Amino acid sequence: MSEEYRAKVFKSGNSVALRLPKALGLKEGDEMMIVREDKPGFKVEPMAAPKVKIDLTGIYGSIPGLKLLAPEDRIMEPRELDWEGKLLKRD
């Protein structure tokens, strides 16, 4: 079942803005996609948040003993794995 909310359009600078109720759970800075539909009306949907990449270049060299892996160090030796489903005991 959908819920109905009232929103008010107001002037903001040289544009108009739509004030949305807090009950929708939106935060300041959230981006929305507005689509004008064929029939009179609009569809408003939240946009997916951009993926954030972490830049670690600032900490490179700051950890003593940390070094980059050489390509030959990245090769793992084959080993047998237990796929029988035996449970490990936990304390």
Mean pLDDT of 69-84: 80
54 within domain boundaries: yes
Residues 10-55 have pLDDT tens digits of 999 999 998 888 888 888 888 889 999 888 888 888 888 778 888 8
- The closest of 61, 32, 62 to 49, measured between CA atoms, is 32
Tally of residues, the chain: 91
71 within domain boundaries: no
Mean pLDDT of 56-76: 78
39 within domain boundaries: yes
11 vs 86: which has the higher pLDDT: 11
59 within domain boundaries: yes
Label residue 89 by pLDDT band (50, 70, 90): low
For 73, phi and psi rounded to 5 degrees? -80, -10
Q: What local confidence, expressed as pLDDT, does residue 12 receive?
A: 92
DSSP character for 91? -
When divided into structural domains, the chain yields a total of: 1
49 within domain boundaries: yes
Question: Domain limits at 54?
Answer: 30-63
